[in-house]
Structure 1
């Protein structure tokens, strides 16, 4: 079967997906150390708030208008001294993140932190795992043997981790504290740097086996020093987000790890699914030839991508037409229409594709009102399909279209979701567009749409597993989660 559907989610969600493919940095350009006068900073804040109120699908979804107005007044009054462009970007992102919507954000100026690290800047040498508001050491590159992976950090420099989590999470656009914690697992060190500046060392208090330690000082480390520690560390199992794998785990259990839902192997044709579809089709034909009775689809640590990649997998299993959302509601605004027009003008499609349809809808819908955009149905395969039991493995780092794919399997009843809860949302405010602040050039992303999962549940929530298998904090030499699922299936 040949799939020729154009990347539909890609067009609707392009800003989100493209951001996911880039290293942490801002789309904004310019001198980050340029001085911004207080009056200019206040004007940019006002423009930011006006833009969010006009363009965001619901800027007050998770914060009341009174709360946001109070935050605006407080920040506006505090902008009395000149700031660097970097410092203002940090403050305006924290204001945007206050709304607790992941797809409303000013991306972190990653090139500033990268320049600091490349020049030998020292940083916090630990990666953390956040569980229910507690911070555990997940990776230790300090070179200090008194630290162990799995130790809980109670405080840093005399400040409780509860406070540090609140301070660093304020920088992160996230719908929930669970999502914020998942994102901070990659970015805690840089936000600690934003809060404290460069430090020579950090004083920790740890908790192990119920006992709290005396203060322990660890050095801040350069990138080269952390790499040296890593090179000498024992090997442990770690998921590789880029792996595409299809194999038989047992005589009856097939395993498919599709990897990202975009063509990372060919950056010039990143949204061309041709080779990926060949991989998927070959995988299923192999599963049939091996008489597989059960299939595990592993979406853990999957960054997502486009449905032109995921739909062919689902079509091998689906027994009826499907789509990724029951409703796709879009707010009409000048900001969204302008952003869509830029994409339309850059398109090589003579028909304009989805962007042309959106342009007509924006033109027909008064600003501030919403319209429903019809999502096309995807047909299942009619020649052959996999009819055995299907399990979908997810974790807190299953993002974007990986979360959407899991929700499709769950809502249509085609698969059992296993693993841990996703941090990304199945029903969400998304489909990012952007506008630019005129004086500083800072790019503001915002969600133009309310995307309702296939079940029709309008409440923003993660994909919750039917079969919970926790991800261990302390890694071992094997894939504990996958092995646990295989044991559960084999014992049935």
Structure 2
């Protein structure tokens, strides 16, 4: 299908999740020298790498002063350098230098964990922490599904909603406070939400925990201790409400993209991320809206609560099916030039220059008989980020949908595409943003994308495995049907 819009890429936090594949950037290249994983690196070289990470942010970030406290950041660089007095492995060094990430206060600026060592550990039979979790605003770490393990002698079950209070003798309060320091995000709450998405990975990279876990659990005011080892195979159980279509989608989260009938004349479209092959995604969306048209769905719920971004080409294509007139995905963009993005012979400008431009790319509604004209409800959450936020602001500012859920943890006016680079001696991989985007309305307000209807899950609703955001959407659909 002919496209009238330009390509605008925004880096995706999904790219930094352990289950992401087929990303459009080479996030995880192999080491040129794999033996580096087995060696230790001299202290003076590691101190150079800390400085290189910091300087990389200064050279690339388009508005670091508005995100980071520069004095605190500079002090942290010196403090972390002072902690290095002995040679270290890459993983040992990551536990020090990785703490700079949270000082940037930006989900698009971070140091990536030593993924080569992590993959090697799993390939050698290592078993990461087996449970998916949610982290509540009150900082409770809740097991998100029911799990069971069956041996020859006994079956052990862990109910959804169980709170993890300690692992291997370390309180969860200490663990959360420590691990969030290695995660990018505009606030500690956002960092905790991203941490929940890759909880097992940070247990390994920050606390070296893999294979064996002594877990202290609390459920309905009863405390239990469970021992987990690498030989156990824990299985996620089906929702106890799986006869209820509102909750049934929890059983299909293995799929990043799917559409189904939710209720009479109500469709449900799950978009797990926008980091996907463009041709495949467009075909999927074309087929989905053909089904919607054929079955006369009057209401559509689009779920991007787990969507941490990708490229905005896919987000734009989906939005074009919901539009009744031309629209913009953003209104302005600022880019900071550096040695990596200034262009051949500096054709874009000089290093350090800020390029500011009005975004004049108007997107036309899709040229298809299957364009959607019904009511759209968009589910968002604190994890919705990057291209997910671009999509949410586009639908909200262009009045294409009613937003339901919780305010996004990332800013509605946010940073975007940046540069990947390796630290010179450890070869740990860093990513720093180079762009700033302004939402379609042009509003310069701070903070995240606010829903039209705020819905906040609780430990009680998680334990009951209720999807209260979908329930709210169905309630609004029912009310609107009576108007």
Give the structure-1-normalised TM-score. Answer: 0.80
Aligned-partner Cα distance in 2 for 1:261–1:417: 19
Cα distance in 1, alignment partners of residues 261 and 129 from structure 2: 41
Q: Which moved more, 1:326-335 or 1:409-418?
A: 326-335
Secondary structure, counterpart of 1:101 in structure 2: coil
Shift of 1:71: 0.6
Q: 1:37 to 1:331 in 2, by over 3 A?
A: same
The equivalent of 2:442 in structure 1 is 456
Distance in 1 (alpha carbons) for counterparts of 2:44 and 2:318: 54
> How far is 1:163 from its partner?
1.8
Distance 1:243 1:128 in 2: 18
- Distance of 1:120 and 1:243 partners within structure 2: 27
Q: Give the match's secondary structure for 1:317.
A: coil
Contact 2:190/2:383 (<8 A) preserved: no
Matched residue SS, 1:190? helix
Query: Is structure 2 residue 475 aligned with structure 1 residue 487?
Result: yes
User: Cα gap change, 1:238/1:469 in structure 2, threshold over 3 Å: closer, same or farther?
Assistant: farther
Per mean C-alpha deviation after superposition, the further-off stretch among 372-381 and 429-438 is 372-381
Cα distance change of structure 1 residues 183 and 154 upon mapping to structure 2, 3 Å threshold: same
Q: Which of 430, 438, 442 is the equivalent residue of 2:416?
A: 430
Report the number of matched residues: 453
Contact 1:129 1:185 in 2 (8 A): yes
In the other structure, the counterpart of 1:443 is 429
Q: CA deviation at 1:289?
A: 4.5
Deviation at 1:404, TM superposition (A): 1.6
Given the alignment of the two structures, is residue 177 of structure 1 paired with residue 183 of structure 2, yes or no? no
Question: Post-superposition shift, 1:329?
Answer: 0.7
Cross-structure match for 1:70: 75
Alpha-carbon separation, structure 2, partners of 1:44 and 1:112: 19
Q: Using the TM superposition, give the Cα deviation of residue 375 of structure 1 relative to its aligned residue in structure 2, in angstroms.
A: 5.1
Instruction: Give the aligned partner of residue 380 of structure 2.
Output: 394
Residue 175 (structure 2) pairs with residue 164 (structure 1): yes
CA contact (8 A) 1:428 1:460 kept: no
CA pair 434-381 structure 1, distance change in 2 beyond 3 A: closer
- Of stretches 86-95 and 280-289 in structure 1, the one that deviates more from structure 2 is 280-289
Distance change >3 Å, CA 6–CA 439, structure 1 → 2:
farther
Structure 1: tracts of 5 or more residues without a match:
264-269, 342-355
Q: Let me know the Cα RMSD of the aligned residues.
A: 3.4
Match of 1:350 in 2: none
Name 1:322's counterpart in structure 2.
327
Q: Distance between the aligned counterparts of 2:16 and 2:109, measured in 1? A: 12
State the match for 2:317 in structure 1.
312
Secondary structure, aligned partner of 1:429: coil
Asked if the contact 2:377/2:401 (under 8 Å) is kept, the reply is: yes
Q: Is the 8 A contact 2:11 2:386 kept in 1?
A: no
Counterpart of 2:246 in structure 1 is none
Residue 34 of structure 1 corresponds to 39
How far residue 245 of structure 1 moved from its aligned partner, in angstroms, is: 3.9
SS in 2 for 1:168: helix
4+ residue runs over 6 A deviation? none
Correspondent of 1:473 among 441, 462, 466:
462
1:371 is paired with a residue whose SS is strand
TM-score normalized by the length of structure 2: 0.81
Residue of 271, 277, 283 corresponding to 2:278 = 271
Tell me, in whole angstroms, the C-alpha distance in 2 between the residues paired with 1:142 and 1:280: 36
1:367 equivalent in alignment to 2:352:
yes
Q: What is the aligned partner in structure 2 of residue 416 from structure 1?
A: 402
Deviations 1:334-361 (A, max 9, x none): 2443xx66xxxxxxxxxxxxxx9xx633
Q: Which moved more, 1:383-392 or 1:313-322?
A: 383-392
What SS class does the counterpart of residue 52 from structure 1 fall into? Answer: helix
Change beyond 3 A, Cα 1:327–1:139: same
Per the alignment, residue 245 of structure 2 pairs with none
Superposition map of 1:125-204 within 5 A: 125-132=130-137, 133-139=139-145, 143=149, 145=156, 147-198=158-209, 202-204=213-215
Residue deviations 1:423-470 (CA, integer Å, cap 9, x gap):
444321221212332233333210101111112233553323212344
* SS class of match (1:309): helix
5+ unaligned residues in a row in structure 2: which ranges?
150-154, 241-249
- Higher mean C-alpha displacement, 153-162 vs 82-91: 153-162
Map 1:230-269 to 2 at 5 A: 230=235, 233-234=237-238, 237-240=250-253, 242=255, 244-257=257-270, 260-261=273-274, 263=276
Q: Tell me if structure 2 keeps the 8 A contact 1:142–1:221.
A: no
- 1:92-146 Cα deviation digits (max 9, x unpaired): 2221332221111221122312322333335544432100122122246584847
5 Å matches for 1:55-134?
Answer: 55-121=60-126, 123-132=128-137, 133-134=139-140
- Per-residue CA distance 1:161-182 (angstroms, 9 max, x = gap): 2221011111111222222222
Q: 1:218 aligns with which of 226, 230, 235?
A: 226
CA contact (8 A) 2:147 2:158 kept: no
Task: State the alpha-carbon separation in 2 of the partners of residues 88 and 426 from structure 1.
Answer: 34
SS of 2:55's equivalent? helix
User: Quick one: distance in 2 between partners of 1:286 and 1:431?
Assistant: 34
Structure 1 residue 36, shift from structure 2 partner: 0.7
Tell whether the 8 Å contact from 2:6 to 2:361 is kept in structure 1 after alignment: no
Measured in 2, the distance between the counterparts of 1:126 and 1:286 equals: 35
